[in-house]
Structure 1
């Protein structure tokens, strides 16, 4: 790994191991699991302003959909003019097509750190203490078994599927009548991508996924109200 990436990995490792040591007297063998959940909640709390901004942008774009549809119909044979008119409308309204992706993009470095911390046997020149943690008998550094499943992986899969179901319903509610059938299918299927992701990452990263997606469901439910 390049040296400039070692510093954040080392810093995150010392932070998480310190948290594990602090809560271990209260949580016992589940200290590492609780530490992952707490770190994930802390990250989402820090990103809350971005999430609120993204949701406001989504509402604003929904309000603009009739105008966007009219512009598309008017300039459908002139792609360059169409792009200019859409950009002009977004600039005048202060909205962006990419604002809704900001919370997800901002989480990628934290997800990468979680993946790295539980995928390496040696961190900061010492034996990685974090991978010795476990959940329902499955080591946190273990990847999803292909042919055999432990209770931990089965529980994680069920939780991810349930949360993805509720997230898909929320996303469908946010779509207006101008949404195409393809857009609706994508909104319904995309949340279940967490299940596919969990198949290729350590159990610890899967815990991050189920915690952050649960936060997303609760956050969007509250913001919609």
Structure 2
């Protein structure tokens, strides 16, 4: 199915990956290009991440006031929501600021998926489909594509990173007096593992790279927060 904006963006990123991969042919080619382009994307998103960290620190400072409001209006959810909104507005804090980096990354994941699943890009044969990692085509999928062992390292890494993200989310919630993640929110850190069943190997490489970057950001940029570093 053709999606105009996604197709146009895919054509641009595709051309970039092909050129970078050509320059890096002796050092991993397309696989290395995916890692470097992902790192470049995350570096460009650093201003958003820093803003999210500042917001998180501000919410941690406001935690005692939030707990006080919860005790005062805990039986009136509508009133509590209004009071919390007014508190955050008065302090210039956005409770959703931390979501921006993830939202901006979503289109790039879609583009990576398309680059390694579409037979033709911008009217030309997709040359990326033949490139390999560990002797397996980067377009290979776990379901229907074979070579399950090549996905094992990605599964192990993503499960480990998911556990770190889950633990940190719970500590952040406790420190900021917000709801502890439950239900669908509890499994969000592990959705990347489930996605390995259907995404190309190239997308798995992107996921491991970007989630590893996030883990390093948490350890470095969020050091000293009440929630801890991981």
Pair in the same fold by TM > 0.5: yes
Per-residue deviation, 1:96 = 1.1
> Residue 166 of structure 2 aligns with which residue?
168
Offset of 1:154 from its aligned partner?
Answer: 1.3
Within a 5 Å distance, the mapping from 1:16-165 to structure 2 comes to 16-24=17-25, 26-27=26-27, 30-145=28-143, 149-165=147-163
Report Cα offsets for 1:122-171 as digits up to 9, x if no partner: 11111101111111222111112379543321121122222223333443
Comparing 184-193 with 99-108, greater Cα deviation is found at 184-193
Cα distance in 1 for partners of 2:129, 2:48 equals 32
**CA contact 1:137–1:152 (8 Å) conserved in 2:** no
Structure 1 66/194 Cα, relative in aligned 2: closer, same or farther at 3 Å? same
Q: TM-score, normalised by structure 2?
A: 0.86
- Give 1:200 shift: 2.1
Structure 2 CA distance for aligned equivalents of residues 115 and 33 of structure 1: 14
Partner of 1:96, secondary structure, is coil
CA distance in 2: counterparts of 1:40 and 1:147, whole angstroms: 24
Cα drift, residue 198 of structure 1: 1.9
CA positional deviation for 1:188: 6.5
Q: CA offsets, 1:50-93, max 9 Å, x none?
A: 11111121121122222122223323454443332211100111
CA distance in 1, matches of 2:201, 2:107: 18
* 3-state SS in 2 of match to 1:213: helix
Contact preservation (8 Å) 1:138, 1:150: no
RMSD: 2.4
1:191 paired residue among 180, 189, 194 = 189
C-alpha distance in 2 between matches for 1:171 and 1:146: 34
Q: 1:97 to 1:179 in 2, by over 3 A?
A: closer
Question: How far apart in 2 are the matches of 1:80 and 1:137?
Answer: 57
User: Is the alpha carbon distance of 1:162 and 1:146 closer, same or farther for their aligned partners in structure 2, counting shifts above 3 Å?
Assistant: farther
Quote how far apart the aligned CAs of 1:186 are.
7.4
